[in-house]
Amino acid sequence: MSDKPVVRLEKDGDIGVIIVNYPPVNALGPGVADGIIACLNQANGDPAIKAMVLMGDGRSFIAGADIRGFGTGRKRAPLGERTYDVMDRSPKPIVAAIHGFALGGGLENAMGCHYRIAVPSAKVGLPEVLIGILPGGGGTQRLPRLAGPQVALEMIVSGRHVPAPEALKLGIIDELVPAGADMRETAVKKARAVANIRPLPRVRDRAAHADPGIFDAMRKSIARRARNQKAPYNCILAVEAACTLPFEDGMKREQDLFLELENADEAKALRYAFFAEREVAKLPDMPASMKAADFSKPAVIGAGTMGGGIAMSFADFGYDVRIMDATEEGLTRGMDRIRNNYATSVKRGSLAQDEMDRRLARIHPVAGYDDIADCDVVVEAVFERMDVKKPVFEQLDRVMNPDAFLFSNSSALDLDDLASVTKRPEKIAGTHFFSPANVMKLLEVVRPPRAAPDTLATAMALGRRIGKISAIAGNTDGFVANRSRAPFNSEMVILLEEGCLPEQVDKVMIDFGYPMGPFAVGDLAGLDIGAEGRKRRLAANPNYRTLPIADKLVEMGRFGQKTGAGWYRYDKSDRTPHPDPFVADLIAQVATQMGVRQKTFTDEEILRRLLFSSINEACKIMEEGKAYRASDIDVMWLHGFGFPRYRGGLMFWADGIGVRDVYNQIASWHQQYGERWAPSALLRQLAESGTSFRDAKPAPFV
């Protein structure tokens, strides 16, 4: 932090300009609110100042509250003594000049001002629900008065960021700063123009009227995605208060609803997830001087489902990308699939036709390797077999510029073995996208032992530049995400052998908070993919635990949605999973042949059998030095497997149960079920020392 005050008052003629200077994004950190109040009082006490401007230095107006302060018992200014209250009492007009972000407390401060102007690139919003709370500085009371209750409900319950041009249409801001105009100069001019207008247009003085039915309608509309969560419903109650109570009473109601949430498990988990996503970008054992290389010419090898999705990811973020395939027919099919995917988004209303046309025009199908020779980054996305991938890397090594980075979209294979067929192993790493690649946020960057620091930095940056969350994983079978998930995938099928049905397991996981059950997800991804991995592991380890039920389905050609049948049955042109009596009969037959005793399971047993198996494997991964932090594993589960965000992540959730209890249960299952439940040495160590998973110290990364 510089020696400058976090908030300062400057005079521009007869206008007082209050400037927030709390880098990097002007969050409402220590001293900021007090500084704003002091400057407001100083300006109001100066007869030479006729009006004020509130603005931010640097990148943003005010990006929101400092999240680190929530749940810490910090002292909050009482109602009547906050910045918004001082603004309400101001006898002189205040203009909020918004650039960058005005989020959460930033927008609440802007709404406390009498006028709001913004540059076209600015964004506003009240995203507190995303960290398990609600806007606690009058946001739920002022936004309904400014933009209407329906708009306020949608914005506050979703937490979305609204671009300034849309905010203008909604009435949240009053004017857009003309392109090329100086922000401060425009704001000062605006303040001077309104200096003598009375009465001052306070947002609190407006009325907020709504049809009472909109609140129940919103509750119904969020019932599925907000299940098990309280914050979205408290947000609705707070907006409802704005429409039914006087302003001061509504503020008190907002305060009470906020306090219900701040220290709840939901908010703690969501705050943890927020910080884990920032921590995952840090590579503690890499040189401080490590920098990502710049790249502008990406290419994708393989036009299948994954390759097409990766190409779309580049195009969606403004990159011209070349895509090639082994055959002309495959390339044509791939481009048709990309076109259809975009068209589906247009049909759903999530993408405009002109934007589809722009993105599609950035994807350039090419005939062969010579057509990508000048590219600086290549992502290989061919079939998941080493005998298919190695020839591709041999060819890439021959034709690509020596400085080009060669990345593989492998989900499990040995990247060091793959790099060995090239003369540039230091330029090779894994970039494991999750399906569908243009939708899923996780990019697992796999670190082979010979990868250079700049290769890893570039792979991590690649993900961030195309809207992904990049996380480093060690070069181990399945890497971190899929390896930690593998016991879950096995255990869910073993549960069938013991008496469960796919729909029972799926219901438990959906009730826990997953968007889909694991058997439905398996059908979506393709059961043949998992079967291929089991074959590879069985070849490497004759004692590998086979899954006869899953294997029999694949032998019958039941691969999932793409064949119309897998764990479930699918009607033509319908992706709804229907329980299939054939599968129930098959499960019973195989269980009889295996001599497995059938029993019934509680929902809690099913949940713990699945998740505890993966917690144990995650501990093994950390003790082998294949992950930096338990929180990295949580990020991978949040963004790779749909783990419910309001539960924080796999390891955070386990900490809520307690390391000792997790260990005792796993040790008990080890006695009952055998070697697959052998407790990790790290898990045992954590249980004996009373150390949480979050505080575990993994072995040095290898």
pLDDT digits (tens, 9 = 90+) for 275-308: 999 999 999 998 888 899 999 999 999 999 999 9
Out of 81, 108, 277, 279, pick the active-site residue.
Answer: 108
Topology (CATH level 3) of domain 482-614+628-644: N-(1-d-carboxylethyl)-l-norvaline Dehydrogenase; domain 2 (1.10.1040)
Q: What is the model's pLDDT at position 1?
A: 45
CATH of span 298-478: 3.40.50.720
Q: What is the model's pLDDT at position 72?
A: 67
pLDDT digits (tens, 9 = 90+) for 221-273: 999 999 999 999 999 999 999 999 999 999 999 999 999 999 999 999 999 99
pLDDT digits (tens, 9 = 90+) for 404-449: 999 999 999 999 999 999 999 999 999 999 989 999 999 999 999 9
Residue type, 195: A
Q: What is the DSSP string of 412-442?
A: SS-HHHHHTTSS-GGGEEEEEE-SSTTT--E
The CB density around residue 163, as the number of other CB atoms within 10 Å, is 14
Q: What confidence category does residue 91 fall into, taking pLDDT thresholds of 50, 70 and 90?
A: very high
pLDDT digits (tens, 9 = 90+) for 478-522: 999 999 999 999 999 999 999 999 999 999 999 999 999 999 999
Report the share of the chain in percent with pLDDT over 70. 99
- Give the residue extent of every domain in the chain: 7-263, 298-478, 482-614+628-644
For the chain, the residue count is 702
Kindly tell me if the per-residue pLDDT of 541 is higher than 90: no
Report the share of the chain in percent with pLDDT over 90. 90
Kindly tell me if the per-residue pLDDT of 524 is higher than 50: yes
Tokens in use for 426? 């230091």
Mean pLDDT of 456-461: 97
493 phi/psi in degrees, rounded to 5 = -80, -35
Q: Do the domains 7-263 and 482-614+628-644 sit in the same CATH topology, yes or no?
A: no
pTM for this model (two decimals): 0.92
Q: What is the model's pLDDT at position 301?
A: 98
- Per CATH, the architecture of 7-263 is what? Alpha-Beta Complex (3.90)
Q: Which residue has the higher pLDDT, 5 or 71?
A: 5
Q: What is the model's pLDDT at position 214?
A: 97
Is 108 marked active-site?
yes
Q: Which residue has the higher pLDDT, 194 or 574?
A: 194
Out of 81, 128, 260, 497, pick the active-site residue.
Answer: 128
Q: What is the model's pLDDT at position 195?
A: 97
Kindly tell me if the per-residue pLDDT of 545 is higher than 90: no
Mean pLDDT of 470-484: 96
Contact residues for 477 (Cβ-Cβ < 8 A; gap 6+): 412, 414, 483, 537
The CB density around residue 296, as the number of other CB atoms within 10 Å, is 9
What's the chain's average pLDDT? 95
pLDDT digits (tens, 9 = 90+) for 179-212: 889 999 999 999 999 999 999 999 999 999 999 9
Taking CA atoms, 439 is separated from 224, 308, 445, 573, 619, in Å, by: 20, 12, 17, 21, 29
First to last CA, the chain: 36
Q: What is the model's pLDDT at position 2?
A: 54
Q: What confidence category does residue 539 fall into, taking pLDDT thresholds of 50, 70 and 90?
A: confident
